[in-house]
């Protein structure tokens, strides 16, 4: 079945509160997708952000981002009134997220909601806490302690707490009991709203593609409370950290700095922790994109303390053993493997063995002639996902501007266009025309947005993860254009489009029949 979708972070949705949220604007985007005949909404990780604002460097691999909680929904539940949040400055420009403002402003509003919530009895809250106890209690304690230490990393706390000594941790649980319950409440709000949004999307015929980062951040509850999961020394410092080796695009490599999983130790109990993580993530989404899939075959380990990634070495990962265990537990999994980067025959064998679809990114297609595997004619199987670009890429307009002239010339020849300015539209159509079972574009590329709309530039700090859209971006004209493209290339989610067109834009005749504008 040929399908299509749009990649858009929840954070980029229109909002008067500084960042996209899981409320009406999210539902409106689902309606836009359904009416345009798409099947999927792909999001970025929904984890809490911290230093650097990256959702791939979170303080928890399980928790949800409090910034995405919709205040209007809480107000409808009687937990807030408009005056609690509408008179606050949430941004400095409507075009960009200001994380510093959010850091100062969001939690005080949620504490007001918690104070009102505490006056009520909620069996749903108690059930949520019980069902998520395996990660929730540790996360809530971790965040309470971060607050008590002015946001400092756990490694800077007093030694007894930093080393997770039982007596110190037990005492902290008593001291910060009320704060711990507040953070439980915040997660209850997040997941209540998230599953309501997911149910809304599914009812409209839209499925959500989530994202599971391969690594955890060093300043995370997992490293603090479960150090045996990682390659750390006796002082809980990493022995090696994650990254990528040098290549023509990064001459000193990429130094991500994440601690690396202790795969050998995890193997002893059949990778139980990772299977539990997968179970949690698979329940959150309809499909899951596995970040840095090649890292499961071999991972690049850089000695801790090095300033570049030049002296790292490849080490053997869990390979198929992890995925064999996952298949035995879950059966068929709806997974997309991010098989980009240093892809060897061994990685290709792993991908083939799992049966997961890999990724084909159009922006990688035009730099090496007709043998490039990312060119649509070179796709060897429909079991793949064709992207115009990802969150780590330029917008298509930015890509054209940054390209070597000879690469643009080849792209123009391949796509049969006469002007560079027409390349973005031609690449979008080429992705939709490809044999890939699923074609996905970023919202920026659908809008033909300028280079400034790029979400992230890897290995840089500042100016990333701040992209926002406006309500005016989601026009009926754009919706009809996308629907026409879905119809043209056999990717139209006809049932969702017909149903939603009737609900959103249809006109009713005297006989009660619904008519629609021509797409």
Domains of the chain (ranges; CATH) run 3-357+437-515 (3.20.20.80)
Please check whether residue 356 is in contact with residue 278, taking contact to mean a CB–CB distance below 8 angstroms. Answer: no
Of the listed 53, 338, 339, 500, which one is catalytic?
Answer: 338
Whether 291 is catalytic: yes
Whether 392 is catalytic: yes
List b or e across 390-410, with b for residues whose CB sees 16 or more CB atoms inside 10 angstroms: bbebbbbbbbbeebeeebbeb
Of the listed 98, 147, 276, 291, which one is catalytic?
Answer: 291
pLDDT at 519: 27
Q: Give the global pTM.
A: 0.94
50: which strand partners? Answer: none
pLDDT at 186: 99
pLDDT (tens place) for every residue of the chain, 519 residues total: 999 999 999 999 999 999 999 999 999 999 999 999 999 999 999 999 998 999 999 999 999 999 999 999 999 999 999 999 999 999 999 999 999 999 999 999 999 999 999 998 899 999 999 999 999 999 999 999 999 999 999 999 999 999 999 999 999 999 999 999 999 999 999 999 999 999 999 999 999 999 999 999 999 999 999 999 999 999 999 999 999 999 877 899 999 999 999 999 999 999 999 999 999 999 999 999 999 999 999 999 999 999 999 999 999 999 999 999 999 999 999 999 999 988 999 999 999 999 999 999 999 999 999 999 999 999 999 999 999 999 999 999 999 999 999 999 999 999 999 999 999 999 999 999 999 999 999 999 999 999 999 999 988 889 999 999 999 999 999 999 999 999 999 999 987 767 665 554 333 333 333 332 332
pLDDT at 499: 65
pLDDT at 248: 78
Strand 40-42's sheet: what is its strand order? 335-337, 287-290, 207-212, 40-42, 3-7, 438-442, 384-387, 358-361
Whether 348 is catalytic: no
Phi, psi of 438, deg, nearest 5: -130, 130
Q: Which two tokens stand for residue 402?
A: 């940054």
Please check whether residue 41 is in contact with residue 198, taking contact to mean a CB–CB distance below 8 angstroms. Answer: no
Of the listed 392, 420, 437, 448, which one is catalytic?
Answer: 392
């Amino acid at each position: 079945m040929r399908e299509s979708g749009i990649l858009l972070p929840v954070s980029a949705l229109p909002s008067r509160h500084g960042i996209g949220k899981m409320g009406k604007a999210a539902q409106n985007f689902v309606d836009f997708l359904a009416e345009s005949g798409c099947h999927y909404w792909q999001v970025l990780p929904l984890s809490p952000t911290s230093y650097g604002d990256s959702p791939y460097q979170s303080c928890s691999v399980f928790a949800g981002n409090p910034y995405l909680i919709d205040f209007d929904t809480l107000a409808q539940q009687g937990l807030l009134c408009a005056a609690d949040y509408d008179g606050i400055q949430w941004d400095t420009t409507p075009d960009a997220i200001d994380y510093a403002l959010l850091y100062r402003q969001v939690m005080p509003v949620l504490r007001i909601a918690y104070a009102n919530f505490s006056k009520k009895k909620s069996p749903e809250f108690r059930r949520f806490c019980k069902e998520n106890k395996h990660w929730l209690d540790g996360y809530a304690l971790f965040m309470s302690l971060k607050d008590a230490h002015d946001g400092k990393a756990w490694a800077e706390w007093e030694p007894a707490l930093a080393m997770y000594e039982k007596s110190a941790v037990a005492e902290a649980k008593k001291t910060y009991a009320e704060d711990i319950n507040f953070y439980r409440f915040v997660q209850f709000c997040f997941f209540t709203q998230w599953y309501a949004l997911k149910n809304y999307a599914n009812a409209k015929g839209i499925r959500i593609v989530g994202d599971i980062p391969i690594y955890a951040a060093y300043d995370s509850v997992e490293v603090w409370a479960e150090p045996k999961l990682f390659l750390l020394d006796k002082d809980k410092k990493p022995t090696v950290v994650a990254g990528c080796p040098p290549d023509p695009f990064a001459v000193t490599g990429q130094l991500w700095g994440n601690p690396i999983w202790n795969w050998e130790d995890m193997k002893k109990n059949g990778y139980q922790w990772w299977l539990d993580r997968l179970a949690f993530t698979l329940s959150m989404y309809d499909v899951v994109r596995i970040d840095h899939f090649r890292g499961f075959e071999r991972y690049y380990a850089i000695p801790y303390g090095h300033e570049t990634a030049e002296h790292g070495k490849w080490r053997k990962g869990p390979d198929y053993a992890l995925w064999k265990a996952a298949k035995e537990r879950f059966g068929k999994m709806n997974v997309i493997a991010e098989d980009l980067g240093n892809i060897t025959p061994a990685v290709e064998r792993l991908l083939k063995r799992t049966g997961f679809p890999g990724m084909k990114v159009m922006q990688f297609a035009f730099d090496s002639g007709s043998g490039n595997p990312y060119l649509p004619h070179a796709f060897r199987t429909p079991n793949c996902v064709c992207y115009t670009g990802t969150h780590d890429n330029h917008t298509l307009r930015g890509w054209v501007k940054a390209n070597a002239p000879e690469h643009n010339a080849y792209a123009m020849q391949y796509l049969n266009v006469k002007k560079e300015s027409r390349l973005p539209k031609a690449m979008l159509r080429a992705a939709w025309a490809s044999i890939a079972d699923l074609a996905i574009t970023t919202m920026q590329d659908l809008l033909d947005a300028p280079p400034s709309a790029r979400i992230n530039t890897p290995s840089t700090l500042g100016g990333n993860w701040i992209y926002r859209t406006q309500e005016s971006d989601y026009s009926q004209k754009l919706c009809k254009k996308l629907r026409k493209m879905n119809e043209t290339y056999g990717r139209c989610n006809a049932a969702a489009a017909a149903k939603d067109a009737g609900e959103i834009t249809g006109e009713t005749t005297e006989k009660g029949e619904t008519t629609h504008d021509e797409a």
